Amino acid sequence: MDKRTRCPDCDADMEAGFVPDLTHGGYDQARWHRGEPTQKTFLGLAAGMAVSKESMMPIRAMRCVSCGLVRLYAIPGRRK
């Protein structure tokens, strides 16, 4: 994906970025996962979401410098 593209709404430049995901140890890059979310449990208590690391792809964000539109892309082949 190009680092600079044009906004589909107003035709201004878009800049690349990412969506930080807050974790227990700081921040990480948010990821896309195929399918519907499934809740995990441990001893009957909610214990986060069930995920497959092989199914996750980093999310790339593009933001319009003029109107602020943000588009998110899961880039194939860039699994993390």
What digits encode the pLDDT tens for the residues 22-75?
A: 888 899 989 998 888 888 888 988 888 888 888 889 999 999 999 999 999 998
Helix, strand, coil % (nearest 5) of the chain? 5, 55, 40
pLDDT band, very low/low/confident/very high, at 1 (cuts 50, 70, 90): low
In one-letter notation, the amino acid at residue 9 is: D
What is residue 10's DSSP assignment?
T
**Does the pLDDT value for residue 80 go beyond 60?**
no
- Cβ(56)–Cβ(30) below 8 Å: no
What pLDDT does residue 3 have? Answer: 53
